[in-house]
Amino acid sequence: MQMKIIILNLDRSTTKEELVVLFEEHGSVQSCDLVLDKATGKSKGFAFVEMPKPGEAKFAIKNLNNKKVAANRIRVRKAKDKKA
């Protein structure tokens, strides 16, 4: 069962490709969605990554939470499921 991870406090210049590389150091990445502002097309400072193996996802969360990426310390945790 895959795990969805939320990454908060991203530097606005961080790209989707940079996030994929960062998370692939800890396991396989199924998808990465950098949330963009509809009006400007610029990053809103957070993203979601899906990893197919929960063990790798937990390893990534543990090792990347509070890591300095660009100018910011990112916060990484398991994303909460959306209520229907």
Please say whether the structural domain 3-78 has been given the CATH code 3.40.50.800: no
Q: Where are the domains of the chain?
A: 3-78
In this structure, the dihedral spanned by the alpha carbons of residues 33, 39, 41 and 44, taken in order and rounded to 10 degrees, is -50
Q: Is the pLDDT of residue 49 over 70?
A: yes
Tell me how far apart the alpha carbons of residues 15 and 84 are, in angstroms, rounded to a whole number.
Answer: 30
Strand spans (E) along 1-84: 3-8, 31-36, 43-51, 68-69, 72-73, 75-78
Average pLDDT over residues 21-46: 96
- Predicted confidence band of residue 84 (pLDDT cuts 50, 70, 90): low
pLDDT at site 1: 84
Higher confidence at residue 33 or residue 1? 33
Report yes or no on whether pTM surpasses 0.75: yes
Amino acid at 52: P
